[in-house]
Amino acid sequence: MSADGPVPMGPEELGELLPVAYAASLEEAEHYRQLLEDHDITAVVDEDYSPTTPPPEPLPVGAVAVLVPASLLEDAREVIDDFEDLDVLLERDDEEEQEEEDDGYGEGEEDLEDAEHPYPFFGGDQDDEEEELH
């Protein structure tokens, strides 16, 4: 592996290419390819790839294969698994941050509904005012 990224290889040098991931779109497949190449793993995106053996789970319609040399398959799986774990953590952090923002905005709303207001049109006790008028 080189410090400047993966060494460009021709088809003969790549050997047998195996799918490391199936992406839902070409854009997602390119993200995987870039991620792998950032880790010095040569990867190829192949929209027309058809597996010789059926994958363990049915592929979504339009799935795009991300292929790596067989010799790098385990390393590539590890990189993608680590990335997906990180992605899940980042999503969880984003959700928690959003919940904190949501919680802080309407804080104390119940207290305002129950409080008596000096002006009836702002939610004060209207029954008292009606009794005074009669």
Q: Which domains does the chain have, with CATH numbers?
A: 11-114 (3.30.70.1530)
| Closest by Cα among 58, 59, 76, 55 to 67 | 76
In whole angstroms, what is the distance from residue 14 CA to residue 24 CA? 25
| pLDDT, position 3 | 46
Question: For residues 67 and 105, which has the higher predicted lDDT (pLDDT)?
Answer: 67
Q: Residue 16: pLDDT above 50?
A: yes
Output the pTM of the full model: 0.56
> What confidence tens digit (pLDDT) does each residue in 32-83 have?
999 999 999 999 999 888 777 777 777 777 889 999 999 999 999 999 998 8
| pLDDT, position 1 | 43
